[in-house]
Protein backbone atom coordinates (compact mmCIF):
# COMPACT_ATOMS: atom_id res chain seq x y z
CA UNK A 1 0.00 0.00 0.00
CA UNK A 2 2.83 2.42 0.85
CA UNK A 3 4.55 1.73 -2.49
CA UNK A 4 1.29 2.33 -4.36
CA UNK A 5 0.72 5.57 -2.44
CA UNK A 6 4.25 6.76 -3.15
CA UNK A 7 3.84 5.89 -6.83
CA UNK A 8 0.55 7.81 -6.98
CA UNK A 9 2.15 10.86 -5.32
CA UNK A 10 5.08 10.72 -7.75
CA UNK A 11 2.72 10.47 -10.72
CA UNK A 12 0.75 13.44 -9.39
CA UNK A 13 3.88 15.54 -8.78
CA UNK A 14 5.19 14.72 -12.27
CA UNK A 15 1.84 15.58 -13.88
CA UNK A 16 1.53 18.89 -12.04
CA UNK A 17 5.12 19.81 -12.96
CA UNK A 18 4.23 19.15 -16.62
CA UNK A 19 1.34 21.58 -16.16
CA UNK A 20 3.77 24.28 -15.04
CA UNK A 21 3.59 24.02 -11.25
CA UNK A 22 6.83 24.01 -9.25
CA UNK A 23 7.43 21.56 -6.42
CA UNK A 24 7.92 23.14 -3.00
CA UNK A 25 7.87 20.05 -0.77
CA UNK A 26 6.36 16.61 -0.41
CA UNK A 27 4.85 14.86 2.59
CA UNK A 28 4.72 17.84 4.94
CA UNK A 29 3.84 16.39 8.34
CA UNK A 30 2.88 18.09 11.55
CA UNK A 31 0.91 17.13 14.63
CA UNK A 32 -2.30 18.24 12.88
CA UNK A 33 -1.96 16.13 9.76
CA UNK A 34 -0.10 15.66 6.49
CA UNK A 35 -0.11 17.36 3.12
CA UNK A 36 0.94 15.09 0.26
CA UNK A 37 2.42 17.74 -2.04
CA UNK A 38 2.91 21.51 -1.83
CA UNK A 39 3.53 23.30 -5.13
CA UNK A 40 3.60 26.81 -6.54
CA UNK A 41 1.36 27.87 -9.39
CA UNK A 42 2.75 31.29 -10.16
CA UNK A 43 2.40 33.22 -6.91
CA UNK A 44 -0.20 30.81 -5.51
CA UNK A 45 0.78 28.13 -3.00
CA UNK A 46 -1.09 24.92 -3.82
CA UNK A 47 -1.75 22.24 -1.21
CA UNK A 48 -2.38 18.98 -3.07
CA UNK A 49 -4.14 15.90 -1.74
CA UNK A 50 -3.49 12.75 -3.80
CA UNK A 51 -6.04 9.95 -3.72
CA UNK A 52 -5.69 6.70 -5.64
CA UNK A 53 -8.41 4.09 -5.83
CA UNK A 54 -8.60 0.89 -7.84
CA UNK A 55 -12.30 1.51 -8.52
CA UNK A 56 -15.22 3.84 -7.85
CA UNK A 57 -16.61 1.37 -5.32
CA UNK A 58 -17.45 3.13 -2.03
CA UNK A 59 -17.60 6.51 -3.81
CA UNK A 60 -14.17 6.57 -5.40
CA UNK A 61 -11.22 8.86 -4.82
CA UNK A 62 -13.10 12.17 -4.63
CA UNK A 63 -15.54 10.91 -2.01
CA UNK A 64 -12.64 9.95 0.25
CA UNK A 65 -11.80 13.64 0.77
CA UNK A 66 -14.67 14.18 3.16
CA UNK A 67 -15.30 17.10 5.51
CA UNK A 68 -13.12 15.59 8.25
CA UNK A 69 -10.20 15.10 5.86
CA UNK A 70 -10.64 18.64 4.53
CA UNK A 71 -10.44 20.05 8.05
CA UNK A 72 -7.21 18.12 8.71
CA UNK A 73 -5.73 19.44 5.46
CA UNK A 74 -6.73 23.01 6.33
CA UNK A 75 -5.19 22.69 9.80
CA UNK A 76 -1.94 21.28 8.42
CA UNK A 77 -1.82 24.02 5.77
CA UNK A 78 -2.30 26.68 8.44
CA UNK A 79 0.59 25.15 10.38
CA UNK A 80 2.76 25.17 7.24
CA UNK A 81 1.88 28.82 6.59
CA UNK A 82 3.33 29.82 9.97
CA UNK A 83 6.71 29.17 8.31
CA UNK A 84 5.99 31.38 5.27
CA UNK A 85 6.11 35.16 5.27
CA UNK A 86 4.36 36.98 3.75
CA UNK A 87 1.45 34.58 3.36
CA UNK A 88 0.83 33.97 -0.36
CA UNK A 89 -2.54 33.28 -1.98
CA UNK A 90 -3.38 29.61 -1.44
CA UNK A 91 -5.70 26.94 -2.76
CA UNK A 92 -6.44 23.26 -2.20
CA UNK A 93 -6.26 20.94 -5.20
CA UNK A 94 -6.77 17.20 -5.50
CA UNK A 95 -5.23 14.70 -7.85
CA UNK A 96 -7.57 11.74 -8.18
CA UNK A 97 -6.32 8.50 -9.68
CA UNK A 98 -8.92 5.85 -10.46
CA UNK A 99 -8.46 2.81 -12.66
CA UNK A 100 -5.13 4.24 -13.81
CA UNK A 101 -6.68 7.54 -15.00
CA UNK A 102 -5.42 10.77 -13.39
CA UNK A 103 -7.70 13.78 -12.87
CA UNK A 104 -6.56 17.13 -11.46
CA UNK A 105 -9.21 19.11 -9.59
CA UNK A 106 -8.24 22.71 -8.94
CA UNK A 107 -9.90 24.41 -5.98
CA UNK A 108 -11.17 21.03 -4.81
CA UNK A 109 -12.61 22.70 -1.71
CA UNK A 110 -12.63 26.10 -0.02
CA UNK A 111 -11.64 27.06 3.50
Q: Domain ranges for the chain, please list them.
A: 2-109
Tell me, what's the pLDDT at 88?
95
Max CA separation in the chain (angstroms): 42
- Average model confidence (pLDDT) across the chain: 89
DSSP, collapsed to helix, strand or coil, labels residue 103 as strand
pLDDT of amino acid 38: 98
77 neighbors 84 (Cβ within 8 angstroms): no
Distances (CA, A) of 21 to 16, 40, 41, 53, 99: 6, 5, 5, 24, 24
Dist. CA 98–CA 60, nearest whole Å? 7
- Mean pLDDT on 89-105: 92
Work out the average pLDDT over 84-109.
92
Give the pLDDT band of residue 2 (cuts 50, 70, 90): very low
Q: What is the percent of the chain where pLDDT is above 70?
A: 91
Give the pLDDT band (50/70/90) at residue 63: confident
For 30-60, the pLDDT digits (tens) are 999 999 999 999 999 999 999 987 656 656 7
pTM (2 decimals)? Answer: 0.90
- Whether the predicted pLDDT of 3 surpasses 70: no
Task: Tell me which fold the domain 2-109 belongs to.
Answer: Trna Endonuclease; Chain: A, domain 1 (3.40.1350)
The sign of the torsion formed by the CA atoms of 15, 62, 8, 97 equals: negative
Please tell me the distance from the alpha carbon of residue 54 to that of residue 99, in angstroms, as a whole number. Answer: 5
For residue 11, give the H/E element and its range: helix 2-18
Give the whole-angstrom CA distance, residue 84 versus residue 91: 15
pLDDT of residue 111: 75
Amino acid sequence: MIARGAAAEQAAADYLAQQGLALVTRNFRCRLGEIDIIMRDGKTLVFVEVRARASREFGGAAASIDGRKQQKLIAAAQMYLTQVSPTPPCRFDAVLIENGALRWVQNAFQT
